[in-house]
Structure 1
Amino acid sequence: MMQAWKVNLIVLWFGQFLVNAGTTMIIPFIALYLSQDIGVQGEHRIAIWSGVIFAANFVTSFLFQPLWGKLSDQYGRKVMLLRSGFGMAIVFTAMGFATQPWHLLVLRLLNGTISGFNPASISLISSSTPKEKMGFAMGISQSGTVAGSILGPLIGGIMADTVGFRSIFYITGACIFMATLLALFLVREKFDRLAASKMPKVSVLSGFRELSLTPQLPALFTVTLLLQFAMISPMTLMPLYVQKLHGTAENVAFWAGLVSAVTGLSNMLMAPILGKVSDKYGAHRVLTFSLIGAGLMLIPQAFVQNVEQLIIVRFMMGICMGGLLPSVNSLIRYYTPDGMESRAFGFNSSTTALGNMTGAVMGGVLAGFIGIEGLFIMAGVLLLLNMVWVRTKLYVKPGALKHNTSSPSQSNPSDYHKK
């Protein structure tokens, strides 16, 4: 029989793919759904409602992810995964019945509130995977998330033309429901409820303060935050930048989509490979070189002369980014105190939502002063500075580590401590 950790990884890969595809599937047609099916009139009103509805999911996700992480450590990761999966299946289906824009807004807020499938999946995978396979498993998990995010808008656009807007929500809800059913019957979790019940009950803020006492964790959370900011901040202006480089408005939508998708494609392909590299040579080393590469590949995007050059640079950037989140997740697992793993992944998921929010808002504001070229340079410099911070925290003296007697740089790089 296949080992339990491999079954968990396969089942949760499909779950993460479907959840992320479903979440991003509405992006291409949300404005059309509001105008054609819900009846919102006026370009200005449609734009406002579209922006607010899209951002709503990230706001509540940022607020509630740490709470679900805390409850996951107390009651188990699988029950939180099922709560999130079945809850999102119901919410997505309900979006297809919306008749007013505020209906869609409330449901998006609710979806962000109950979401948590990704951090629960990562926590489950990390708790069941052998330590020598951790980087590989995190890379495979990341590829499912990225694949869903890339293909979601494409699938949504195709389905909108074939089955209509409302049917997409029904289909998405059904797919998430089926993925959660698979997790219910196939995913196995080793969780000691008795030991968890004896752990001290602390508030979300107290838990964050306790995690912050481990100096490596805030630096790792910041990697996730800055990565999301770097990806999201230029996205709304990318079509205009592509048009400027292309020199004509012809096929701008196609080229802008290709510029965005190529980064995710290379990320998806390289994440499992770099995950295996991290198992052999150490997640800390892969994270360091990935941060340097991603930072250096962001800056040239401000100086390219045509779309083809932009595509090449963004493809290279995606290769480097493929090593970031798997390494971050492996190291979060490494440094997190026993019994707080899900809480740590919950906070990391919260920083993802915060990066999405600040990227979407601050990107537009800052671009008014420094242009999209300035955004590329600023994001690259921030990632390089973050690399310096991460290295100073990961390469500490042996006596400074809380959980084992040697740092990952001074011991066997793949020798993750046993939980």
Structure 2
Amino acid sequence: MTDVPTTPAFPAPPARERGYMSISIAIGSGAFLASFAMNFWWPFLPLYLRDIGATSDANALFWVGIATSVQGVARLVTGPFWGVLSDRYGRKLMYIRALYAATLTTAIAAVAHAPWVIVVSLTMQGLFSGFIPAAIALTSVSVPDHKLDRALGVVTAGQYLGGTLGPAAGAGMALLFGFRGAIAASAILPALSATWIIFAVPRDVVTARVARVATTAAGSGRRLSVDWARGFSRTFWVAVCLYFGLFALNQLIRVATPIALKDIAGDDRASALSGAAFTAAGAGSVVGVLVVARAIGHWTGLRGTLIALTLFSALAAPVMAFGGNEWVFIAGLLAFAIANGASMPATNAMIASTVDTARRGTAFGLASSAQAIAFMVGPMSAAYFASTSLTVGFAVAGALFVLLAVVVALFSRPVESAAEPVS
């Protein structure tokens, strides 16, 4: 499909023009708390499963695999559906819905009495939550387009910061209050985020044209099933492909890292080194979002930024593959985390900038489905290379980053956010 012009974005009201950063921080703080909560209990999930009925460590990991796989399939199926509804009824409403749903599904996990209840909990998360795509879609229609890169950087930084701090806080809470107490505490945070968003973020505008199209489509199930996916440009689909690739390769590298460090440094040091590696990577992701993406984007624009950052990720992968030393490996992981973190707001901005404002909810719903597939493909790839050769796996990841850069360079068009208004 060739590129087609998109409808110009809705002009930002003066108040929104002046207050875009406070809106971005409000949405980003919600993403931070929700991501913090979701990562609160994830590291000790296998141990919790042993407490509620898993018969062995292997059996606990089996239930984790079942739960996450079903969650991924659920997100894959429902992501576009929630996106279409957000364009019809409002992105703020869908963000709030996703946050409250995260509280409900986490509460189910807190009262689980058997491993299958965790499968139910994560399946419901996949069906009804998905707060990060909703946060990005809301941001994309709540700030002026020429501020979009910076605003999405704030939201992405909140997500990464929550993911970095959550596991440490969750471990401390588990020591104080047990596994159930820690999970119950984390269940409260998304609801607090949702309540905060209700008052802190203005309601986004759904135009009469969108409402008419949605109403007409709703009258015909066949037409709705066909029309919602039409009209996106080739550059948009390239951006979604890049979105998938970034998440899949990130998952491959993250899942493989503890095993790679064990192979390099031995069992005795693997746990401590993994903790240091992931802490450094989390900090690097935040630096990438807030500093590197803006610095590079000032000179190259969105498309050039993504090509440069993807190639930088390709250079970091061989360092992890052939470094031969744990500290060299961690340095390569840090470099990769900076580049990968910086790539995410730029990719989100590229998706938003190639789509009519009225359809950004649908666009990020499709991106959510691509992310769901990536979360299944990445760990499976890591498992395959762990059984063959992690060195080859990291090298393949580097080659795939080069391929992604080539795809962006050859098959997308230059995309820029709207220019700063002249005062």
Same-fold call, TM > 0.5?
A: yes
Q: Shift in Å at residue 253 of structure 1?
A: 0.5
Q: Give the alignment partner of residue 72 of structure 1, picking from 79, 83, 86.
A: 86
| Letter matched to residue 267 of structure 2 | A
Contact 1:126 1:333 in 2 (8 A): yes
Q: Secondary structure at the match of 1:322?
A: helix
Q: Give the alignment partner of residue 108 of structure 2, picking from 76, 91, 94.
A: 94
Residue in 2 aligned with 1:297? 316
Question: Within 1, Cα distance between the matches of 2:152 and 2:194?
Answer: 20
Question: Within 2, Cα distance between the matches of 1:147 and 1:124?
Answer: 20
Of 276-285 and 104-113, more deviation after overlay is shown by: 276-285
Change (3 A) 1:417 1:209: farther
Residue in 1 aligned with 2:32? 17
Question: Within 2, Cα distance between the matches of 1:6 and 1:142?
Answer: 14
Contact 1:137 1:275 in 2 (8 A): no
Written as runs of structure 1 = structure 2, the 5 A alignment for 1:182-331 is: 182-199=196-213, 201=217, 203=224, 206-211=227-232, 214-246=233-265, 248-277=266-295, 280-281=298-299, 282-331=301-350
Residue in 1 aligned with 2:401? 383
Contact 1:138 1:275 in 2 (8 A): no
Q: Secondary structure at the match of 1:188?
A: coil
Question: Within 1, Cα distance between the matches of 2:29 and 2:362?
Answer: 23
Written as runs of structure 1 = structure 2, the 5 A alignment for 1:339-378 is: 339-369=358-388, 371-378=389-396
**For 1:194-250, what per-residue CA distance to the aligned partner results, in whole angstroms no more than 9, with x for missing partners?**
232122535355433432xx111121111121111212124444323212211x322
Q: Shift in Å at residue 190 of structure 1?
A: 3.2
Q: Percent identity?
A: 23
Contact 1:136 1:273 in 2 (8 A): no
Question: Within 1, Cα distance between the matches of 2:357 and 2:192?
Answer: 32
1:176 aligns with 2:179: no
Structure 2: runs of 5 or more not aligned: 1-14, 218-222
| Letter matched to residue 109 of structure 2 | M
Change (3 A) 1:27 1:204: farther
Change (3 A) 1:338 1:10: closer
Query: TM-score scaled to structure 2, two decimals?
Result: 0.88
Aligned residues: 398
Question: Within 1, Cα distance between the matches of 2:240 and 2:75?
Answer: 16
1:334 aligns with 2:353: yes
Structure 1: runs of 5 or more not aligned: 396-406
Q: Secondary structure at the match of 1:208?
A: coil
Contact 2:259 2:386 in 1 (8 A): no
Change (3 A) 1:208 1:374: farther
Residue in 1 aligned with 2:56? 42
Contact 1:267 1:321 in 2 (8 A): yes
Of 183-192 and 193-202, more deviation after overlay is shown by: 193-202
Query: TM-score scaled to structure 1, two decimals?
Result: 0.89
Q: Shift in Å at residue 385 of structure 1?
A: 0.9
Q: Shift in Å at residue 40 of structure 1?
A: 2.3
